[in-house]
Amino acid sequence: MKKLTAALALLLTFGAQAIEPIYVGGEQYSYTMDDFTPVYANGQVVGYDAAIPVGVDMYDDFIGDYPELIFDVSGDAVGTTDGSPMLMEMSVVCSGIDIGYDADVVINRRGRLLPARFSIYNRKKTNGECKELKLRVNKTGSSATNPAATIDVLNVNLIVFLNLNF
């Protein structure tokens, strides 16, 4: 067993960089642009995706049911524009279950870019189905087709915890 564990650890060390799984329990996880994969449309980057494994969404014998999960996702994005506002959106889905959506605008105000800020807070009972959390940040509206509008910096903080009010 020790050899198998050592071999698996060695294999994972030399494998591709993967996002670590999040565990339901209240710990904050932070992600940057490096953790996201670009999404292309018509040869242009229109957004970024991240797929994050979720652990410990399971039946609880103590409460006799699956617990309600609380999702708290916040983030910001900064980009370059041609002077026009850049419309952006963030969506969160867990194994096909819609968790939430928020939208904001990157604005160039007096030569200073003000970031788009996102905040999604939702409570869902997923019945053990939440195995992969998908985060997506997109340019929307006219910004999606504007080649001068680019997302340069992306930061997301994520906490998933159990609702213990039973």
Q: Is pTM beyond 0.75 here? A: yes
Q: Does residue 116 carry a pLDDT above 90?
A: yes
pLDDT exceeds cutoff 90 at 119: yes
4 to each of 10, 11, 15, 58, 155, how far by Cα in Å?
10, 10, 16, 27, 36
Write down the domain spans for the chain: 20-162
For residues 92 and 135, give the distance between their C-alpha atoms in angstroms, rounded to a whole number.
5
- How far apart CA 139 and CA 146 sit, in angstroms, is 9
User: 20-162: what fold?
Assistant: Jelly Rolls (2.60.120)
79, two tokens: 């980009």
Q: What is the pLDDT of residues 26-61, one digit of tens each?
A: 789 999 999 999 999 989 999 999 999 998 778 888
Tens-digit pLDDT profile for residues 54-109: 987 788 888 888 889 999 999 999 988 888 889 999 999 999 999 999 999 998 78
Give the pLDDT band of residue 24 (cuts 50, 70, 90): confident
User: Per-residue confidence at 18, pLDDT binned at 50, 70, 90?
Assistant: low
Cα angle 79, 19, 97 (rounded to 5 degrees) comes to 85
